[in-house]
Amino acid sequence: MTTRDPRHRGRRYDGALGRRELTRWIIRGIRVLAVPTAALSLLLAVDIALPGTAETGITYRRALAPNWLAPDGVEISVGWPDRPNCLDERPDTGRRLLFTTRPGCAGSVAVSLDFGRRVTGNDTLRVVRTPMFGRVRAVQRPADGRRDRRPLWGLGAYVVVGLVPLLSFGRGFGVLGGPREAPRYHFAYLLPALAAEALYAWLLAQAVGGSALP
């Protein structure tokens, strides 16, 4: 393998040129996806402001949320009695049973720790979702009227994150230093924009596939 730079005869190739070219192509890709990502972010903001759709759920399990983004949250497992084929009536007793093991009949919602402490087994929750993306916007406990708006704060954070890739249009985006003709890039500066675009690709896939509803 030659150590000569094929673009400049007599100059030794140390890999820096290849890394710079790779980083520049990554930045171009980020810029291509930045505008659609920001548009989806604004669409999510509009979705949050629109009237949501409400659904009643019956709780049957709760646990501390393992999400590192929300370490103080509680994950509550919920069964959906109003969905088709989720309730069956036993002919011998006449009791109606909710089958949480059937597809689409159960899911989970993340709430704050303070709200989660007050939720017990077989408790009724009213879950409000955004109409387009189907994300949980608020959770209410009809028994005492308490309302948890923690999911709304999470959606607001999603909106802000969706605007991060727009920073890639700055002239110094990703540049750590070096001369203008041969700037030094640092890949760590690109990670937030890449993560934001990956997040919105995931949200879009869930919305299109209808899997956002737990």
In tens, the pLDDT along 154-205 reads 888 899 999 999 888 877 776 666 555 556 666 777 888 899 999 999 888 8
pLDDT in tens, 122-158: 888 999 988 888 888 888 888 888 888 777 888 888 9
Q: Indicate whether 2 belongs to any domain.
A: no
Q: Indicate whether 145 belongs to any domain.
A: yes
Q: Indicate whether 120 belongs to any domain.
A: yes
Q: Which residue has the higher pLDDT, 73 or 67?
A: 73
**Cα first-last separation, the chain:** 54
- Closest by CA position to 88, among listed 69, 101, 71: 101
Q: Indicate whether 213 belongs to any domain.
A: yes
**pLDDT of the residue at 175:** 67
pLDDT of 14 above 90:
no
Give the span between the Cα atoms of 40 and 50, in whole angstroms. Answer: 15
Percent share of the chain, pLDDT over 70 = 77
Give the span between the Cα atoms of 62 and 44, in whole angstroms. Answer: 28
Q: Indicate whether 3 belongs to any domain.
A: no
Q: Indicate whether 9 belongs to any domain.
A: no
Residue ranges making up the domain that contains 59: 16-214
Q: Indicate whether 85 belongs to any domain.
A: yes
3-state secondary structure of 151: helix
Average pLDDT, the chain: 79
To the question of pTM greater than 0.85 for the whole model, the response is no
For residue 1, name the pLDDT band (cuts at 50, 70, 90): very low
- Closest by CA position to 37, among listed 204, 152, 174: 204
For residue 37, name the pLDDT band (cuts at 50, 70, 90): very high
Question: What element of type H or E holds 140?
Answer: strand 136-141
pLDDT of 10 above 70:
no
Q: Which residue has the higher pLDDT, 85 or 177?
A: 85
Contacts of 212 (CB under 8 A, 6+ apart): 133, 134, 135, 203, 206
* Residue 164 vs residues 70, 107, 147, 169, 202: alpha-carbon distances, Å: 20, 30, 30, 11, 16
- Paired sense of beta strands 124-129 and 87-89, if any: unpaired
Q: Indicate whether 8 belongs to any domain.
A: no
Work out how many domains the chain is built from and give that number: 1
Candidate from 32-36, 38-42, 190-194 with smallest mean pLDDT: 190-194
pLDDT of 43 above 90:
yes
Give the span between the Cα atoms of 36 and 89, in whole angstroms. Answer: 48
